[in-house]
Amino acid sequence: MSNKHLPRLFAQALNEKRVELFDEFIHPNYNNHNTYVEPGPAGVKAFFRHYLDAFPDTNVVMDDVIEEGDRISARFTYNGTFSNPFMGYRPNGAAIRMRSIDIWRVADGKLAEHWDELNLLEVFQQIGAATVRKPEGQ
């Protein structure tokens, strides 16, 4: 049985701003390998509540999904407006675009373990929290 519907449910919960729906697809022993997110289902829900508060018009598009054995990988694009504080930074109304690649291990029909790669440097540039110098001579 395919579990490709799980990343779709993740995107749907974020697009509907209904983090409580995570309970339907996040395993009770959820292990998130993102150091910015507290452990367990409560940690991932708290992070996304904070994210959705900071970017209340968030729209998430699932660009790709691949399933192999007990692993699902999905590529997402997030768009939103920086409207409320995020991770200690003040809002500036900037439009942001964040891309992610997420890998989950599935157990008992739910997302049980998670790894991700995010383009956070670009996000922090977009919200004015980081700048990148061009190499000398350019």
Q: Spell out the CATH class of 5-126.
A: alpha beta
What is the average pLDDT across 32-42? 93
Indicate the average pLDDT of the chain.
94
pLDDT band of residue 135 (cuts 50, 70, 90) is confident
What are the domain boundaries of the chain?
5-126
Calculate mean pLDDT across residues 68-93: 96
Token look-up 């729209």 returns 59
Lookup: tokens for 70: 């007990």
pLDDT digits (tens, 9 = 90+) for 84-113: 999 899 999 999 999 999 999 999 999 999
**CB within 8 A of 107, min separation 6: which ones?**
27, 29, 70, 113
Please give the model's pTM, rounded to 2 decimal places. 0.90
What pLDDT was estimated at residue 115? 97
